[in-house]
Amino acid sequence: MPLNPDAVGFVSEPSEARWTSRDSLLYALGVGAGVTDPTGFELEFTTENSDGITQRALPTMPVVLGGGGPGPMSAIGTFDWAMLVHGEQGITLHQPVPVEGTARIVGKVAAMYDKGKAAVVVLESEAREPGGDLLWTTTMSAFIRGEGGWGGDRGPSGPRNEAPDRAPDHVVSYATRPDQALLYRLNGDRNPLHSDPTFAARAGFPKPILHGLCTYGFTGRALLHAVCGSDPARFKAIEGRFSHPVMPGDVLDVKVWVDGAEAIFQTCVGDNVVIDSGRLTFA
């Protein structure tokens, strides 16, 4: 059957996420921590036994810490996964991400919008420690080509988090690796769009593309170092819209405009904006 608009409001059964120090290290390497950082090797994120350094987790890591199980996507109906692209992603951190731990994850279908030739599905989740304290909340939207047209609400539109008409306060450039997607997929996203040339061709791409959330992680690192003094405790919330595919090996330019305790950002590859409508809230 096609997408089911009646799934809006569906809440998943709680699931458990477990992660270790090794998982935190692998995520950091998957989003380029180490050799792509011009200031050093980011040893607090990439090692657990360096003298005088305490391991820390990158603040965008919740995107790979799902609880497993069917989750809210199981309720939205059926579709061709080759037609799905990640639309937007937001994270709100209620405390720094632990290097290792356990969380109880509950997700829900927050909205479903009819864009005519496509559908947008909005999912929300929250993660709590075993004692009940809130760790983080996330929001993501999935843009699914060919699944609109049922006459539903088109949803919000128009620009937001627009970049100021001035030069950015910071520009951080990171080169991704040609095999970046093959490394990042070890964090759990095994979608063949990022590894299988045949599957990528079905989706209309000349070769496998980089995970949007990998680009998001590179961007989060740039914001962490440029705006938050490399301190994850100062990194409070991030949101952005994926606006153009990235190929492994591309150079990412993260442009940042700071205004008080917020920063507007864009991530670009050359003249193409690949993450737009970006906003960071920090302490």
Residue-wise pLDDT tens digits, 101-158 = 999 999 999 999 999 999 999 999 999 999 999 999 999 999 999 999 999 999 988 7
Q: What CATH number has the domain bearing residue 152?
A: 3.10.129.10
**pTM, entire model:** 0.93
What would the mean pLDDT of 186-198 be, rounded to a whole number?
A: 94
What would the mean pLDDT of 23-52 be, rounded to a whole number?
A: 87
Inform me whether the pLDDT recorded for 39 exceeds 60.
no
Provide the pLDDT for residue 1.
46
Inform me whether the pLDDT recorded for 192 exceeds 50.
yes
Inform me whether the pLDDT recorded for 89 exceeds 80.
yes
Catalytic site residues? 189, 194
Neighbours of 48 (CB within 10 A): 16
Cα 275–73–10 angle (5° rounding)?
115
Q: Which domain holds residue 138?
A: 5-282
Residue-wise pLDDT tens digits, 259-273 = 999 999 999 999 999
Residue-wise pLDDT tens digits, 200-250 = 998 899 999 999 999 999 999 999 999 999 999 999 999 999 999 999 999
Beta-strand pair 235-242/251-259: unpaired
Q: Which amino acid is at 270?
A: G
Neighbours of 236 (CB within 10 A): 17
Provide the pLDDT for residue 207.
95
Provide the pLDDT for residue 29.
96
Provide the pLDDT for residue 84.
86
Provide the pLDDT for residue 4.
92
CB 129 within 8 A of CB 135: yes
Neighbours of 270 (CB within 10 A): 9
Tokens in use for 8?
């809006």
Provide the pLDDT for residue 70.
73
Return the higher-pLDDT residue of 39 and 163. 163
User: What's the whole-number average pLDDT of the chain?
Assistant: 94
Provide the pLDDT for residue 159.
79
Count: domains in the chain: 1
Inform me whether the pLDDT recorded for 36 exceeds 70.
no
